[in-house]
A and B are shown apart, each in its own frame.
Chain A
Amino acid sequence: MFGLDKKDASLLLIVAVLVAFAPFFLNPFPEGSGWAQFNAGYPDLMQRFVIFGIFAIGFNILFGLTGYLSFGHAAFLGVGSYAAVWMFKLLSMNVIPAIALAVITAGAFALIIGYVSLRRSGIYFSILTLAFAQMSFALAYSVLTPITGGETGLQLALDDPRIFGGAATEGNIPVPGFFGLEMRDSAQLVLGNWVFTFNVGYYFAAIIMLLSFYLSIRIFRSPFGMMLRAVKSNQQRLNYTGLNPRPYTLAAFVISGMYAGLAGGLMASMDPLAGAERMFWTASGEVVLMTILGGVGTLIGPVLGAGMIKYMENIISKINSDILHSWFAFLPDGLEDLVVTLIYPFIGKGWHLTLGIVFMLVVIFLPGGLVQGGQKLAGLFGRKKAQEPKNATTEPAE
C-alpha cells in the first residue's frame, strides 16, 4: 500500500488509528474523578503531541540515519514560527501560506547553517550547530527585535495589514483557520461522565503528521536512506569508495530542518505567537531527548518520545502539594505528610527530576528506547518471538 511493504504499511495504519482516536485514548478517566488529573485529551496538549512528533521525526532523519547529532535544531523551529506569524500578519489568517513559508524559510536557513556546519563531523558539528542556534536565539531576543518582537515575542495586532482579508472582527484579532475552519474550534462528545474533545487544529496537525510520517518511512526505505546509513556506519570507507557524502548529509540536514520548520509553522498556526525561547538551546536539547527516549533510528520512536516528554511537562508539572494531600487523605496524618514529602520533589516544578530518572532508566535498561521496551513486552506476551527490526540500530555514530 502506498509503495510500502506490509510491515511498514501496518505500522502507518496503527499510527493513523492511534492518532485518529487519540481524544479517546488520552481521556481514559471520567471528569471529576481524582484521576482526571492524568487526562491528556485536551486540544492544546494533543496538538503539542503531534507537532513535537513531527519535529522529532525530522530530527531522527538526521540523527537516526546519518548519526550527525545537531544540537541546534530548535533554531529551525523558531525560524518557522516567525515566518508563519509574519504571514498571518501580512497576508491572511489562512494557515496554508503560513506553513508553506515556514517550511521554505527553515529549509533555506538549514541550507546555510548546514553548509557551514557539515564541514566538520562528530562533536565539532554538534558544537557548531549549537553555536548557530544560540546565535539565532540571541539575535531574535535583542538585536532583531523589530522583526522578532524580542523578549515579548512576535504577536498579531489589530492593525496588521493582512492584505488578503481576515480583518479584525468587532475589535478582536481573527484566529488562524483553514479556509474558514478555525483551528481552535472543537466539538465535544459527552458519554456519561466522560467528555471527549475533538479539535479542528489537532486533526489538521495530525493529518500533516501522518503525511510527514509516511514521507519519513519512504526516506528510510529509499536508496537515499541507505546512503545516509552508510554515512553513519563508516564515513571513511564511503570516502575511499569514491563517494562524496557531503551532498547526502546536507540534503538530510535540510530535510530535517524543513520538518522542524513545518513543526514551527504548525505551532504558530495553533497559537499565533512566536517567542525567542523556542530557539534556546534547551529546546534543541529537548528534541534530542525525545529521539533518544523513544528510540534513535526507529520510525515510531521519536513520536513516542515526544509524547512522553510533553505529557510529563504538562501533566506532572501541574500536580501541586494540595492535590497530593487530597490523594493521600485516607492515610493517617503523620503518614500522609511523610508520603507527600517523599513524592513532592518529583512533581510540580520537580518534573525535570522525574524526567531525568525516566531518561536514565531508559538509557541504561533500554538502550533502544521505548521502542525496544515495546518489543521486549511483545516478546514476552506475543505468540511469536519478536523479530529484530531492520532499522533499530543503536551503535554510536562513527
Chain B
Amino acid sequence: MSKGNLTRRGVLKTGAVAGAGLALPTYLSAQESGFTNAPTGSTVTLGFNVPQSGPYADEGADELRAYELAVEHLNGEGDGGMLNTFSSKALQGSGILGKKVEYVTGDTQTKSDAARASAKSMIEKDGAVMITGGSSSGVAVAVQALCQEAGVIFMAGLTHSNDTTGKDKRANGFRHFFNSYMSGAALAPVLAANYGTDRKAYHLTADYNWGYTTEEAVKSSTEAMGWETVGTVLTPLTQTDFSSYITPVLQSDADVLVLNHYGGNMVNSLTNAVQFGLRDRVVNGKNFEIVVPLYSRLMAKGAGANVKGIFGSTNWHWSLQDEGSKQFVQSFGTKYGFPPSQAAHTCYVQALLYADAVERAGSFQPCAVVEALEGFEFDGMGNGPTLYRAEDHQCFKDVLVVKGKENPTSEFDLLEIVEVTPVDQVTYAPDHPQFAGGALGSCNNGA
C-alpha cells in the first residue's frame, strides 16, 4: 500500500489544508438563527439516547417505546394520549411549531463515555435540537453537561440521584423524575406508621453515587423519625452474591434492613436476604423488616415472590386512577399490549413537556425553552399538580409509596400503592445540604 507519491505538490497540499483547517473562521457555531441545530426545514429532530444494551436495557427498551408513542401523539397520530388531559393546551397534534417531529436513537450502554459519544453524534451529525432519555444518574449528569456545552436542551430520563439537580445541575437540563431525598421524605412517615419509631436500621448501599445520596436521604429522614442507624455497609456495584453482606446483619441487633440497591443488585440482595430467613426473624421483640427505597416494576418482576409486603417508593405506577395516567396506560397498552413502566412514563412526559415549552415559547431556541419551563405549573400528566422549579430545574409532585402485592393478579400487577405522599411533604429548599454545591449557570444557546 505504500506507493511513493512523495511529491512537492503533495507536501504543499497537506500543509495548506492543515493550515486552512486551523485558520478558517469559525462560522459553524454562528448560524443565522443564533442557536445550535435550529430546525430549518419542515421537520424537527429529537434525540432519544437510551440504554439499549447493558444492565438497564429493559428500561431503555420501555423508554424508547414511550418516546415513539410521544412522537406519534405530537404528530397527531394515534389517540393523542396525555395531550387530552395535559393542562396546557398549546400542543395541537400538528408537530412542534408546525414542524413534523422526527427522531434519532442512540445507545448509552449505561456508560458516560458511550452516552456522550452517542449524544454528540446526534447533535453534530443528525442535528438534534433536544436530547432526552437515560436510565442512570451517571449518564444523566454526563449528558446534561454535554448538552449545556453544546447548547441544546436535555430532558433527563430515569435518574434518581440528588446530584442531577443538585451539585451537577445545569441550566439546559431538566428532570421530571423524583430523587433520593423525596424517596426518603415520602417513605419515612409510612415506615414510622407501620414499623414504629424505635427501630434500628442497617443499610446495604451500592457503592456509587446514587447509592450514597439514597443512603444519606433515607438515613436522615428515618433518623428524624426516631430511628437509629446501626450500620452502613457499601457493596460493590458488580456484586451478585450478597450472602457475605447479610451475615453481619444477622449478628447485629438491627431490626430493619434498608437495601439501597437498584436493578439487578436489588433483585440479588433481596433474594439473598429472604433466603437467609431475615423476614422470619424476630429481633428486640419486633418482626424484622426490609425496605427498598427505589422500586420499579421491572425489579419487582425480577425478585418475584420475595417483594411481597416490602415497602419502597416510585415515581409513578400504571394502576393510578387519574385521567392522565388512565389515558397513557390505554394508549401504551393499545400499541404494545402491556402497561408502561415508570421509566416509560417519565420519558413520555418529558417529551411532551419539551414540545409544549417550545410551542409556548414560540421558538426552539434553548434559552426561550428554558424560560418557558422554569416555574411552569402543569397537571394531567399522572402525578397531580406539578411544578418545574426554576432554581434547580427539578419537578415537584406527589410521590408514591408502594409495597409488593401479596396476591398479584398478573405479571405486571406486582406493586400496590400504599400512600400518595403530597408534594408539600417532599419539597425542600434549593440550598438543602443534600443538594449543596454546584450552580445552574445560565442557559446556553450554543452561540
Contacts and interface: CB of A to CB of B under 8 A. Distances in A.
Interface in B394-445: 438-442, 444
Nearest to A36: B125
Interface in B158-214: 161, 163, 168, 171, 207-210, 212
Contact of B106 (A7, A150, A317): A317
B5 A14 contact: yes
Contact of A185 (B29, B53, B149): B29
Given A172-B148, A271-B116, A152 B163 contact: yes
A314 B126 CA distance: 12
A1 B92 CA distance: 67
B149 A175 contact: yes
Interface residues of A, number: 72
Contacts of A168: 441
A172 B439 CA distance: 10
A198 B138 contact: no
B251 interface: no
Contact of B112 (A9, A152, A172, A320): A152
Contact of B208 (A16, A150, A188, A206): A150
Given A6-B4, A152-B168, A141 B208 contact: yes
B6 A10 contact: yes
A141 B107 contact: no
Given A6-B4, A186-B26, A271-B146, A151 B209 contact: yes
Interface string B116-129: 11101100110000
A314 B117 contact: yes
Contacts of B208: 141-142, 150-151
Interface residues of B, number: 66
A142 B207 contact: yes
B443 to A, nearest CB: 8
A185 B57 contact: no
A48 B118 CA distance: 12
Given A349-B53, A349-B57, A152 B142 contact: yes
Contact of B444 (A6, A9, A172, A197): A172
B29 A141 contact: no
Contacts of B210: 151
Contacts of B14: 13, 16-17, 20
Interface string A132-159: 0000001001100100001111011111
A118 B439 CA distance: 46
A338 interface: no
Contacts of A14: 1-2, 5
Contact of A277 (B107, B111, B438): B111
Contacts of B207: 141-142
Contacts of B161: 152
Contacts of A17: 10, 13-14
Contact of B209 (A150, A278, A378): A150
Interface stretch (B17-25, B313-321, B336-344): B17-25
Q: Pick the 8 closest A-B CB pairs, nearest first.
A: A171-B442, A275-B112, A151-B208, A187-B24, A44-B120, A349-B52, A185-B26, A171-B441
Interface of B: 1-6, 10-11, 13-14, 17-18, 20-22, 24-29, 52-53, 57, 104-107, 111-114, 116-118, 120-121, 124-125, 136-138, 141-142, 145-146, 148-149, 161, 163, 168, 171, 207-210, 212, 234, 236-237, 438-442, 444
Interface of A: 1, 6-7, 9-11, 13-14, 16-17, 20-21, 39, 42-45, 48, 138, 141-142, 145, 150-153, 155-159, 168, 170-173, 175, 181-182, 184-188, 197-200, 202-204, 206-207, 271, 273, 275, 277-278, 280, 300, 313-314, 317-318, 320, 348-349, 352, 371, 374-375, 378
